[in-house]
Amino acid sequence: MAFQHGLSGLNASSRNLDVIGHNIANANTVGMKTSRAEFSELYASSINASGGINSGIGVTVATVSQMFTQGNITVTGNDMDVAINGNGFFEVTMPDGSMAYSRAGMFKLDNVGNIITNEGANLMGYPTDAAGVRTAFESQPLKLPTGGPIPAKLTTAITAEFNLDARAPIAAAVVPPTPFGTYSTSLNGFDAQGLEVPVTFVFEKVGNNQWNVYPGVNGADPAASVPFAVNFLADGTLDPATVIPQLQLASPNDPAEVFNVDISFDDITQFGADFAVSNLSQDGYRPGELTSLGIGDNGVITARYSNGQSQAAGQIALVNFRNAQGLSPTGGGNWVATAASGEPIAGAPGEGKFGSLKSGALEDSNVDLTGELVNMMTAQRAYQANAQTIKTQDQIMSTLLNMR
């Protein structure tokens, strides 16, 4: 009967309006994916009916599907905001220990340094070394060392790049002799506790293409040290046969605590240009507190410290699914895996089919507000049309009942 047809149409149209209303309500929800009601006709048929005559009995909502298209990316300037540009989901561990997946990259730090969502779920990632190289392929909760300073690092190597002036006269061959210290440079090394150990190098030309280097360590006068020689080839590059000895530094706290430091002079030159130091560095540093962080396109989290050091603190993990339509939404911008979606496929940003990350930005909802308003008007008309069929059928029934 048409009553049943109209009733099914009213129910389907009402469900469609619910879906459209949900989309419109979440037009500004970060990482939200729009949904769509998909309808299916209903038929009643008799097994023994001749000619295959089927009778339509209405409509039903077959499913509410999700549209996993890319949303616009809006720059926020917040270092903890992360947008996925491409395929993939963030993997998070909910407070109850279950796994969920999200496109909403509004992350925070809790009081112990864990990276969490607004619901308190832990963001998952891969451990890395200080240079950002992944050291394991099993994800774990990401955590930043906010509880205390990173420890100091002992200086083990000094690297120098500089040019010694080939035009300089042999120091002892001029009157008056070239003053000691005319060509010099210095830097600070660090002991295991992060205390500074001053290091000075004084260069003195003693022959054609030959210089003596006087190292001054631990505050000692370089002039009192035993020099070592550096020799240059005719083209001004360092003679490969030159032997550069190690330096022996001592801790300011305890002079008996000594440590050796390698010196690299591989890139020094002797050209007809002014004495200039282009690089003078060492690999030690003092303790440092966390001051800021940055997230690269590949998901590597770089922590910056007050001692000027930057170290990787992990890499954000991404997962994907063979059938993302099969994911079940649970609210809060999260989905959970189902039998229809399949098991999560783990990966990293920018690898394979996984999208890259954009730090300081968020992915907007992919709801087309204009389109949803048009859909709402269409659904409203469909509801009215189905109500009209019920009204018309009622009039027909009334006519039949009033026949005499």
List the chain domain ranges: 2-69+366-401, 73-150+289-363, 157-282
CA 45 vs CA 41, 50, 54, 56: distances in Å: 13, 10, 5, 9
* Residue 54 predicted with pLDDT over 70: no
Is the whole-model pTM more than 0.85? no
Average pLDDT over residues 140-145: 89
DSSP-assigned states of every residue in 29-92: -TT---EEEEEEEEEEE-TT-GGG-EEEEEEEEEEEEE--PPPPEEE---TTBEEEESB-EEEE
Which CATH number fits the domain 157-282, given the four candidates 3.40.50.1100, 3.40.30.10, 2.60.98.20, 3.30.1360.120? 2.60.98.20
Per-residue pLDDT of 231-254, as tens digits, reads 999 999 999 999 999 999 999 998
* Residue 56 predicted with pLDDT over 90: no
On whether the CB atoms of residues 37 and 15 are closer than 8 A, the answer is yes
Q: What is the pLDDT of residue 10?
A: 86
* Residue 112 predicted with pLDDT over 90: no
Compute the Cα dihedral for 98, 101, 106, 109 and give only its sign: positive
**Beta strands of 241-392 (E only): which ranges?**
247-250, 258-264, 269-271, 276-282, 290-295, 300-305, 310-316, 318-320, 328-331, 334-336, 345-347, 356-359, 361-363
